[in-house]
Structure 1
Amino acid sequence: MITEILGGIFNQILGILSISWWFLLPLALIFIFWEFWQYYIYIGYLRSQKWLLLEIKIPTMIEKDPKAMEQVFAAAYGIYSYGFRFWQKYWEGRLQEDFISFELVGYAGSVHFYIRTPDSYRNLIESAIYAQYPNAEIHLAEDYRNLMPKTLPNEVYDIWGTDYHLSKDDAYPIRTYEYFEASVKEKRLDPIAAITEVMSKLKDDEALWIQIFIRPTGDDWKKKGEALRDTLVGRKKPGSPPGFLEKIWQFFRNLVIAPIEHPVWPEDAKREEQQTRMLLMTPGEKDIIEGLERKIGMLAFQTNIRFIYIDKRDSFTRSNVAATMSTFNQFNTQNLNSLRPNTSTFTIARGLFKKRKLWYRKRRLYDSYQKLMWPKRKSILNVQELATLYHFPSIVVEAPMLRHLVSKKGEPPAGLPIE
């Protein structure tokens, strides 16, 4: 009986398709063509961009804290388009906002700060850095990725790495540089010191690459954060205002009960309930609300953090992998947010065909780094969080092989004869 029912349903489907194929087939082809067209024009737009790699060298005795770098990230928000027009999206291929990559690289014991940007944003980035670090030196650099083979791992080199994302909702902040600051210079900590120390101790055959993508985002994430905040404090969405008849009923009701008890209006009751809830919050719960409001009140970027460690197979130093991953733990908190490895890109494999899957994950991660490819899962970090993760070391950082600027290039005096 079941076979007959299924056969009848199948015959009805075939009957419908035989009648409407002339309509459904072109519709399906149009949908497929549209998807391919969007992919084609977006890839074409990405290939049309000319990328530059800028290296930044900073003076040895720099005393600025990461707040200066926070202003650099705020200036980088200037690449936001505030929405593309139809022809810009579906003809020019600008389906997503442009992005910039801030890169921290260590190889052969030296530490380098790079910014990879489309050529059209070079002046914006340089002006933002010079505004905060007048004595810095910025120049075009040779791409450090060319120091390694085009594809890894291979028979000589092995790699290890992952992407990082937030473990909770984007509205929850990670620990920022304000936590590490102190009024006394001797007690001041710099969160960048841990990773630069690891990089400064790499051997000649080792390399550690960190890549931080930033893409300006709109206000949708902020609205979600505000909704989360309202949920945490028990603030309900405002309903429709009471009508005329309801107001008359409330007035006469309170008039009747006034000799017995204090009149209660709905608006006063809701306000008193919210105030009571706030008073009953623990200090930790208040810190969560304050941190959440502080984060959503700043400019923010869609972000991805990626690191890759490269070393020869016969001398692969796993302790450097552990040291690198531990540096991200300093930004984690139990009550707010934390950075955790992306399980989709983490170079760990389990189950059947473990070696093959591990090789594929490593090859895909290295290829994504080389081609500036975003993973599916992304996070949103504000300018303060980004400045915590990427900033130029202060005077308290003592990594011996940090690439400091020994002397500043001067401009020739005005009116100098050229012959």
Structure 2
Amino acid sequence: MFSKLLVTVGWFPILAVFIWGVMNTWKHHAQDKYNEHIKYVVLAIDVPRQTEQSPKAVENFFTAMHGGKSTITKKERWWIGKFHPIYEFSLASFGGKVQFFIRVGDKWRDLVESALYAQYPDAQISVVEDYAKAMPLKWPNDDYGFFGSEFKLGKEEYRPIKCWSAFEHLATKELKDPLAIILEQLSYFKEGENFFIQILVQPMDSQSWQKEGEEYIESMFGREHKKKKGMLSETLGGFMEEFGTQTGLTIFGGGEHGEKEEDPWKFFKVTPLDKARSESIMRKTDQIGFWTKIRWCYWAKKEVYDHGPRISQIKAWSRLFTGSNELSMVDTVTTKGDYWWQRLWYHTRSRKISSAYFNRSVESGAEHYIMVPEELASLWHFPAIGVTAPLLSKASSRRTEPPSQLKTTRDEGLLPSGAVIPRPTAQEELVARPRTALEGGEGIVGEQINIPRPQAPTTVLRQEAPKPQVTSRESEIESNAQIENIIKEKLEGSQVPKLDIPSAPKAGVPDPIRLLIEKDVEMEDLGINPAPPEE
């Protein structure tokens, strides 16, 4: 009977797996074709040396990257191969010179630049050639050695790694930048050593992963969630349960079984560690998730190739982020060569990981995982003001904007619409100043050669307002004195009769004091008789 059932129904799972594999193969083929029509640009980012922004600014920047997500229909996904944008945030070291890069499709370039300028107004962004082209893709190579790997999350995706806020002092808010250790290490690379670290980020279709973290927290505090059964499991489960009831046998967990009782005191048994872990999970599930893959490559000339210390350095950096979750290297991807059987596929893995890095592949290699903006900003952000890596590329000047009320010639209506301002000729561009022979003129050293000043145009586009004369303080005083004299002469020459108006007595001032300070007051006016002179 079992053999008949296997022959009748057993082919169905095999056919389902085959159809699913064909559909995914076609989808990847369609996505490759769709990706060929996307023009990508690589942006080199230089941040001013005196920036005081914390990784919170980059966290906001990563959150804004979710704006590139759009609604994709089933036809667009399975037939056209459309997918959400894939951003690359990388850190590269060429012989010790460290540079931040962002690779993005030209369609989403404005989104990236505006979000970055919003957090770093003085940043300098420039389009450069793809830095990954410098890495060889064919291995073994006669001139270079190669080592590469990928990072994965060691535990469930809803558990966060140690984020940048944990490196901030609670009282002084001073940040002990976790990126400082890798920047210092990359700055000490020798000439001919190169290191690339790549973080691929892609918006997710849905945020259903957050429910897993919420259910874990609720189960930790004594509230269990019953998982919903699918149509197939409910059908098979009911069949097995009925079969067990009729025969008294238990097949695949069917039959009579009691439900697990909930512990009403579990809430009071929560330890401080469980509480801290649940808070960190809540912090992650409250944010937007991205599909993420972290890949790194070390390649150098064979004269200076030394992968042992370099691997230790990248491991030391990754250990800084060990918290509720951790970053660990993927053994199935890492180019190990410690044993003879590992050396058999060493160059094959080197070709796979270098090609996946160059193509920015999310599907190649280990499976991608979920990270939130706070985690991404902890791994990739611009260094704090206290990080002094010697060869880190930073902007040497600040970018300023022109005044908002600055008017152009066309705005002022001085030129008709469609008019073109002629460019000056080469002779007109020369500054009318004496030039010496050292500057390209003819004659003996020190001899001045006067170049004739170009003639001014006869048409005056704009008549400048007269500038106010700037006078000194002495001339201003003399002018005021002259004005007072003129007014005095006018008053003296007028026929207006003068009236003698006695000064009003000042209230509260004693008479002796009034006699001293007021000119028109005499002793007789105050009723004081002067003493007769002595004989």
TM-score by length of 1: 0.80
More helix by share: 1
- Residues 369-378 or 162-171, more deviating: 369-378
Q: Deviations along 1:352-379, whole A, 9 cap, x unmatched?
A: 5432211111121111101111234122
Offset, 1:73: 0.2
The AA in structure 2 aligned to 1:389 is L
Alignment of 1:238-387 (within 5 A): 276-317=265-306, 318-333=308-323, 336-349=324-337, 353-374=341-362, 375-387=365-377
Report the secondary structure of 2:303's partner residue. Answer: helix
Q: Deviations along 1:170-217, whole A, 9 cap, x unmatched?
A: 011110011111257695300111111111111220111010011112
| Residue equivalent to 1:80 | 69
Say which of 40, 46, 51 aligns to 2:29. Answer: 40
2:141 equivalent to 1:151:
no
Change (3 A) 1:140 1:229: same
More strand by share: 1
Change (3 A) 1:363 1:291: same
Instruction: Supply the distance in 2 between the matched residues of 1:358 and 1:391 (Cα, whole angstroms).
Output: 33
**Do 1:174 and 1:385's aligned partners in 2 also have CA atoms closer than 8 Å?**
yes
- Residues 122-131 or 153-162, more deviating: 153-162
**Do 1:55 and 1:138's aligned partners in 2 also have CA atoms closer than 8 Å?**
yes
| Residue equivalent to 1:3 | none
Say which of 396, 401, 405 aligns to 1:406. Answer: 396
| Residue equivalent to 1:192 | 179
2:213 equivalent to 1:232:
no
Instruction: Supply the distance in 1 between the matched residues of 2:16 and 2:90 (Cα, whole angstroms).
Output: 45
Instruction: Supply the distance in 1 between the matched residues of 2:165 and 2:17 (Cα, whole angstroms).
Output: 54
Change (3 A) 1:34 1:69: closer
Change (3 A) 1:214 1:32: closer
The AA in structure 1 aligned to 2:309 is S
Larger radius of gyration: 2
Report the secondary structure of 2:224's partner residue. Answer: coil
2:141 equivalent to 1:160:
no
**Do 2:121 and 2:399's aligned partners in 1 also have CA atoms closer than 8 Å?**
no
Percent pairwise identity: 30
Q: Deviations along 1:113-154, whole A, 9 cap, x unmatched?
A: 111111111000001100000000111011112223343441
Offset, 1:343: 1.4
Change (3 A) 1:153 1:324: farther
Offset, 1:229: 2.1
| Residue equivalent to 2:40 | 51
**Do 2:90 and 2:198's aligned partners in 1 also have CA atoms closer than 8 Å?**
yes
Instruction: Supply the distance in 2 between the matched residues of 1:353 and 1:306 (Cα, whole angstroms).
Output: 24
TM-score by length of 2: 0.63
Report the secondary structure of 1:284's partner residue. Answer: helix
Say which of 86, 103, 108 aligns to 1:121. Answer: 108
Change (3 A) 1:123 1:314: same
Question: How many pairs are equivalent?
Answer: 368
Offset, 1:112: 0.6
Instruction: Supply the distance in 1 between the matched residues of 2:17 and 2:65 (Cα, whole angstroms).
Output: 41
Instruction: Supply the distance in 2 between the matched residues of 1:34 and 1:66 (Cα, whole angstroms).
Output: 41
- Name structure 2 gaps, 5 residues minimum: 9-14, 229-260, 410-420, 424-535
The AA in structure 2 aligned to 1:398 is T
Instruction: Supply the distance in 2 between the matched residues of 1:277 and 1:156 (Cα, whole angstroms).
Output: 63
Q: Deviations along 1:330-350, whole A, 9 cap, x unmatched?
A: 0013xx110000112111156
Offset, 1:62: 0.9
Instruction: Supply the distance in 1 between the matched residues of 2:16 and 2:68 (Cα, whole angstroms).
Output: 37
Report the secondary structure of 2:345's partner residue. Answer: helix
Offset, 1:97: 2.7
Say which of 175, 192, 200 aligns to 1:205. Answer: 192
**Do 2:219 and 2:225's aligned partners in 1 also have CA atoms closer than 8 Å?**
no
Offset, 1:239: 11
The AA in structure 2 aligned to 1:383 is P
